[in-house]
Amino acid sequence: MIDFDPNGPALHDGIFGLPFNEQNAELIILPVPWQVTVSYGEGTADAPAAIKEASKQVDLYHPLNPGAWRKGIYMPEPSRELYEKSSFWREKVADYLDNIATEKPEDSFFKAVDSACEELNKWVHDQATKFLKKEKKLILLGGDHSTPLGYIQALTEKHESFGVLQIDAHMDFRKAYEGFTYSHASISYNFMQLSGVSKVVQVGIRDYCDEELEFAKSLGNKAEIFFSYDIQKRKYRGESWDAICQSIVESLPEKIYISFDIDGLDPKLCPNTGTPVPGGLEFEEVQYLLEKIKNSGKNIIGADLNEVGVYATSDWNQNVGARVLYMLCNIIL
């Protein structure tokens, strides 16, 4: 790293202004600019590029893992082909959703959208497998929350069993929401169909339907839900965040994957996320939880960050997104 000053301005074009490349970086950020099935707000397909730009304002010292950046973090440029494919199908899905109460498309429409999403899943799976075979650590950066399914599938081929820690406002247990098998609202339902995923632990949940609650109950001890209001009640009764975090840590298996939907945070931190919900976690609360997990000795095998909504007149969403991403980097490295 000749001529790189970690205390100076970001002069390099890499993520966080770092000078690494695919060969010498220990951690790869895989950008997935995709938002075909979003059901409310748009802008998540623009997040990878916007977060990369915002990341240059993030100072490199991090209390969770000082100096970890020296191991190398690299993000390739987001695929223009994926972005254009997402835009093509998003336009068609948006037209359908605008008329969902009055018109029902032919089955061929849903099959075509599912086929496009399956191609995306395969691309993500193949990219993830390529990096995993090189013994790289990997964080997927979406995009909407449907994007990590192929990555999680790739991890099931490398690890016999692991759990998923999902930070989210939503359960995402809907089966083929709005007719789409690979909806952003169906990601957790879909990854729980994979044999290698032994458990899901959800934190921050505060917006869900009866069907999702029933599915969670049907999973038995394979699902543990820390609802947002239950967390708040524990606080109101005098329980510390440290104690609550300890109960979350104890619910996790030894190997875990972290799926981070940014709407798990208080929406003041992510006002343009696809489906914002009042309430949610504070930034420092998440950092403390991740620190507890790291210090517990759990093996964090991968992560994703999704649903950062980009808005033309403000860079606040990608600013926070870049800092959450850097937090995840320091947990994994």
* Cα separation, 272 vs 44, whole angstroms: 9
62 labelled as ligand-binding? no
Residue 145 counted as an annotated binding residue: yes
Q: Is 242 annotated as a binding residue?
A: no
Q: Binding residue per annotation — 261? A: yes
Reference 38, options 87, 99, 105, 107; nearest CA is: 87
Q: Is 170 annotated as a binding residue?
A: yes
Taking the C-alpha atoms of residue 195 and residue 218, their distance in angstroms, rounded to an integer, is 16
**Listed residue (229, 170, 178, 177) closest to 200, CA to CA:** 170
Residue 72 region, left (φ>0) first, then alpha (ψ -120 to 50), else beta? left
Strand (E) or helix (H) holding 205: strand 197-205
Residues 276 and 8: their CA atoms lie apart, in Å, by 36
Please say whether the dihedral angle defined by the alpha carbons of residues 277, 89, 215 and 157, taken in this order, is positive or negative.
negative
Residue 168, annotated as binding a ligand? yes
User: What pairing do the DSSP bridges indicate for beta strands 137-142 and 299-306?
Assistant: parallel
Run of H or E residues at 23 = none
DSSP state of 44: G
Residues in the chain: 333
Residues making up the binding site for Mn(2+): 145, 168, 170, 172, 261, 263
Residues making up the binding site: 145, 168, 170, 172, 261, 263
